[in-house]
Amino acid sequence: MSVITTISTYRKPVGAKSQLDLENVDIPVYVTGTASSLTEAQLLSFKPFTAWFDGMNPELYVESVTVTDVHWFGSRIGFMTIKSVTRLMGTGPPLPGIVFLRGGSVAMLVVLRCEGRKYVLLVKQPRVAVGRSALVELPAGMLDGDGNFAGVAAKEMREEAHIDFKHSELVCMSESNKQYPSPGGCDEFIEYFYASAAVTPAFLRSLDGRATGCEAENERIRLSYVPYEDLWCATGDAKAAVACHLFENLVRNRYMRDEVTTTQVFRGPELDYVAAGLKEE
């Protein structure tokens, strides 16, 4: 039988956004399983854990939390699984409380305009969780520790597509409405960004099938693109469906424009071999 150890008591910071009644009450936090060696300092340094606690709705009363699993990315915590005892309005049986904590992420709807048509940039990569060796998706990435959504989006575009958008050239489409892909068991929320560039046919050709990704994270990514009107049937990636829904409704209601956000696509050394052809066109 696994030993369950108390490693911490967590108290919501006074003045936190949520007005949870437990601001001045210590909540016991236990560890077990692969989390048995977790220290209080390590736990509290994992921002998805503290964000989950601090953002709790006032009607949800957390009585205790048990950390059951921790997955490390090198020296830092990447993912964490917890089980909470939480009751609605503090009464009745506990609500389903197993949560996979991974924090926020970003997804990019990148529209490339070429000779009067719109194309959407896609990535293909292995996804063990769904048993696919080359799942077609929008470019996406996990949020970094400082909460810089636009910075993460720009970083993902550089790493996955070798396209360098400035922060000012990215339009957040979910700023007023967080998107939760799997709220039944995961805390993840996704911020959606839009960016668009005018490119040449040679640039489009240079993207198709090109291998990219961060070697340090063992990413195996290849680029692809499809006409915008075919995106709905080109992938089962839910991020693509949400991005299109947000984009089309924001444009329809005049909250944003369907337009180019940058007139220049910056190219890294890996595209030097096509640079001359791009200039000629």
Domain CATH code at residue 163: 3.90.79.10
Strands in 128-166 per DSSP E: 132-137, 140-142, 163-164
Q: Do residues 29 and 94 both lie within one domain?
A: yes
- The stretches in the chain having pLDDT less than 50 are 1-2, 13-22, 270-281
Give the count of beta carbons closer than 10 Å to the beta carbon of residue 90: 13
Q: Per the structure block, which two tokens stand in for 227?
A: 């006409």
- pLDDT for 277: 42
Q: Do residues 66 and 146 both lie within one domain?
A: no
Which of the listed residues 79, 101, 123 is the one where a domain comes to its end? Answer: 101
Which of the listed residues 47, 71, 101 is the one where a domain comes to its end? Answer: 101
Rounded Cα gap, residues 244 and 110, in angstroms: 11
**Torsional class of 114: left (φ above 0), alpha (ψ -120 to 50), beta (otherwise):** beta
- pLDDT for 249: 96
Q: Do residues 90 and 221 both lie within one domain?
A: no
Q: Do residues 48 and 151 both lie within one domain?
A: no
- pLDDT for 131: 93
Q: Do residues 126 and 216 both lie within one domain?
A: yes
Angle at 246 between CA 242 and CA 251, to 5 degrees: 150
Q: Do residues 164 and 252 both lie within one domain?
A: yes
Q: Do residues 88 and 174 both lie within one domain?
A: no
Per the CB < 8 A criterion, the answer to whether 259 and 161 are in contact is no
Q: Do residues 195 and 136 both lie within one domain?
A: yes
Q: How many structural domains compose the chain?
A: 2
Rounded Cα gap, residues 187 and 20, in angstroms: 18
Q: Do residues 234 and 124 both lie within one domain?
A: yes
- pLDDT for 268: 52
Q: Do residues 42 and 150 both lie within one domain?
A: no
Q: Do residues 229 and 130 both lie within one domain?
A: yes
Q: Do residues 211 and 125 both lie within one domain?
A: yes
Query: Strand order of the sheet with strand 5-10?
Result: 5-10, 27-31, 60-73, 76-88, 98-101
Which residue range(s) make up the domain with 203? 105-280
Could you tell me the pTM of the whole model?
Answer: 0.83
Which of the listed residues 42, 77, 101 is the one where a domain comes to its end? Answer: 101
